[in-house]
Amino acid sequence: MRTILLFFSLSFFAACSGSVNSGAAANLEGYETELVKGTQITKAIKRDAAGDIVETGYVSNGKRNGVWLTFYQAENAGKIKTMASYSDGILSGPYLEYSNRGQIETEVYYENNMYNGRFATYKFGRMEKEMNYIDNQLDGKSVEYNNRGEIQKEVNFKNGKQHGLMRYYNDEGEVVMEYEYKNGEKISGGMVERN
């Protein structure tokens, strides 16, 4: 828990330093707001009809900054649903989606409202897919896993297009199909024969 709070605090202060680009103004209609003592930062809390917190975060200079959290409602009230990092109203930093059991389902890294870095999905705590983005375009290796956590498919990308090898694996971890791509076009490949 201390690690999570430390991460939130560091993300908040890093985001509050501002950025060159500017995002949209925060719409605080329906939120309770209070000024954080000794600062120009406003804490915003939105509640449902039962009084449970739906969303909370911080605003400075009229824009979302730092970590914003949304929460599950009803029987899962109080459990974190999403965590988003903002800098001057722009998604920048980690974004996480959680299951109602508290397990991460989606992990994305943003920079200036665009995917930049790792993008991963999970099911029941196991990784399903892992890829890398640069400026909203796939770039690098993209991997899909089976329900045992073993590699099922590998695809390489460059500037949003398939570039390099694409491989399919069987249950024994052996490559069964392999294709090579260049700038989005398949140039060779097929079934892999075993010796």
Domain ranges, ordered by start, for the chain? 1-102, 103-195
Predicted pLDDT at 75: 87
- CA gyration radius for the chain? 21
Six-digit token pair at 151?
């590699």
User: Which residues, at least 6 apart from 60, have a Cβ–Cβ distance to it below 8 Å?
Assistant: 16, 39, 40, 41, 42
pLDDT at 53 over 80: yes
Fold of 103-195: 2.20.110
Kindly report, residue by residue over 142-162, the tens digit of the pLDDT. Answer: 999 998 999 999 999 999 999
Residue with tokens 């399919």: 168
Six-digit token pair at 28?
């605080």
Percent of the chain with pLDDT over 70: 88
The pLDDT confidence band at residue 64, using thresholds 50, 70 and 90, is very high
Residue 155's CB: how many other CB atoms inside 10 A?
20
Kindly report, residue by residue over 165-180, the tens digit of the pLDDT. Answer: 999 999 999 999 999 9
Where residue 140 falls (left for φ over 0; alpha for ψ -120 to 50; beta otherwise) is: left
Beta-strand ranges (E) seen in 14-76 are 31-35, 42-47, 53-60, 63-71
Kindly report, residue by residue over 103-143, the tens digit of the pLDDT. Answer: 999 999 999 999 999 999 999 989 999 999 999 999 999 99
pLDDT at 13 over 60: no
Name the phi and psi angles at 181, rounded to 5: -120, 150
Q: What pTM value is reported for the model?
A: 0.82
**Alpha-helical regions (H) of the chain:** 2-16
SS3 161: strand
pLDDT at 16 over 70: no
